[in-house]
């Protein structure tokens, strides 16, 4: 029964969001959208509890491909940061604004950076690269994320201030070009720094939302200090350099945790 409890709880949460948005926005798309994501996440949790080692990657592919290919390319919804600014400036609480509110701004108060571990279509590709755990120490380059964040805001604001016509079409192409750029930079950095997640650590503008909100996250990996033998394996397998044996919220790189569960799976004492 335990194997079904958690997947059912998560499915119920997503269904509650799906039905609420369907009824309040009078748009059945939201029922389909959040039900699909809920089923994918629940399936991933179920497979994880069954000890299937590719459980996280399955969710990442199911949700990431759906967002990139179906929502982004087929439905022309710019779900990147530029799309969020676009809908925000037009005053519309639709697609990208809802997506950001649920997955990247308020959701992280509950599930931290689960988005980064299980749904992001950029990381979906980066996680195929060979450096699953960083082979080099972390660099002090995190400031770059604020530059990319500001650049995204200025780009969309400039389109509005200049009263450029057909912004919707520009947003579609911004989504295509933005993704190509993200993949190119992300793959290059992974090889330069020997770290699949270098892009997430230094460049990704979305972390400007994700990091402060996930600081307060309800779901966190905690360490049972009674069981821990300080072998350090959890830190060696962590893709995000989190000091997971420290239970305080101020632990080193604590807001970087993507809940991938690699530390939990590898702890020889079941201390996490």
Residues within the interface to ligand SF4 (CB under 6 A): 116, 120, 122-123, 199-200, 204, 206-207, 221, 223, 228-234, 238-240, 242, 244-245, 257-263, 267-269, 271-272
The distance of closest approach from Cβ of residue 262 to ligand SF4 in the complex, given in angstroms and rounded to an integer, is 4
Residue pair 122/182 in contact by the 8 Å Cβ criterion: yes
Smallest distance, ligand SF4 to C-beta of residue 22, A: 26
Q: Which is nearer to ligand SF4, 98 or 272 (CB)?
A: 272
In SS3 terms, 172-215 reads as HHHHHHHHHHHHHHHHHHHHHHCCCCHHHHHCCCCHHHHHHHHC
- Least distance from C-beta 90 to ligand SF4, angstroms? 23
The distance of closest approach from Cβ of residue 66 to ligand SF4 in the complex, given in angstroms and rounded to an integer, is: 15
Closer to ligand SF4 by CB, 11 or 263: give it. 263
Length of the chain: 272
CB 80, min distance to ligand SF4, A = 10
Asked whether 85 and 150 are in contact (CB, 8 A), the reply is no
Closer residue to ligand SF4 (CB): 105 or 167: 105
Distance CA 96, CA 80 (A): 8
Whether 240 and 257 have beta carbons less than 8 Å apart is answered as yes
Of the pair 98, 257, the CB lying nearest ligand SF4 is at 257
Rg (alpha carbons) of the chain, rounded to whole number: 19
**Residue number, 212 or 268, with CB nearest to ligand SF4:** 268
C-beta of 240: minimal distance to ligand SF4 in Å?
A: 4
What is the rounded CA–CA span in Å between residue 198 and residue 102? 25
- Region label for 134, one of left (φ > 0), alpha (ψ between -120 and 50) or beta (otherwise): beta
Minimum CB distance to ligand SF4 smaller for 22 or for 254: 254
Name 41's Cβ contacts closer than 8 Å, sequence gap at least 6: 10, 11, 14, 59, 63, 118
């Amino acid at each position: 029964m335990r194997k079904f409890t958690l997947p059912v709880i998560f499915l119920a949460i997503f269904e509650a969001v799906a039905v609420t948005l369907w009824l309040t926005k009078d748009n059945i798309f939201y029922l389909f959208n959040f039900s699909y994501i809920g089923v994918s996440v629940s399936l991933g949790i179920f497979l994880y509890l069954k000890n299937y080692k590719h459980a996280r990657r399955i969710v990442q592919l199911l949700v990431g491909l759906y967002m990139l290919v179906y929502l982004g390319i087929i439905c022309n919804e710019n779900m990147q940061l530029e799309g969020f600014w676009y809908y925000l400036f037009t005053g519309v609480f639709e697609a990208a604004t809802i997506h950001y509110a649920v997955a990247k701004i308020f959701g992280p108060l509950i599930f931290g950076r689960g988005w980064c571990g299980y749904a992001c279509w950029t990381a979906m590709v980066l996680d195929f690269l060979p450096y699953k755990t960083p082979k080099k120490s972390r660099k002090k380059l995190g400031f770059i994320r604020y530059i990319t964040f500001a650049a995204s805001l200025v780009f969309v604001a400039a389109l509005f201030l200049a009263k450029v016509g057909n912004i919707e079409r520009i947003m579609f192409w911004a989504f295509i070009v933005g993704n190509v750029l993200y993949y190119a930079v992300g793959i290059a950095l992974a090889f330069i720094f020997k770290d699949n997640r270098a892009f997430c650590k230094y460049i990704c503008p979305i972390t400007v939302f994700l990091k402060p909100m996930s600081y307060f996250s309800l779901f966190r990996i905690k360490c049972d200090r009674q069981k821990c033998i300080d072998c350090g394996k959890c830190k060696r397998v962590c893709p995000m350099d989190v000091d997971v044996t420290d239970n305080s919220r101020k632990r080193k790189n604590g807001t970087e945790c993507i809940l991938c569960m690699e530390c939990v799976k590898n702890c020889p004492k079941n201390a996490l």
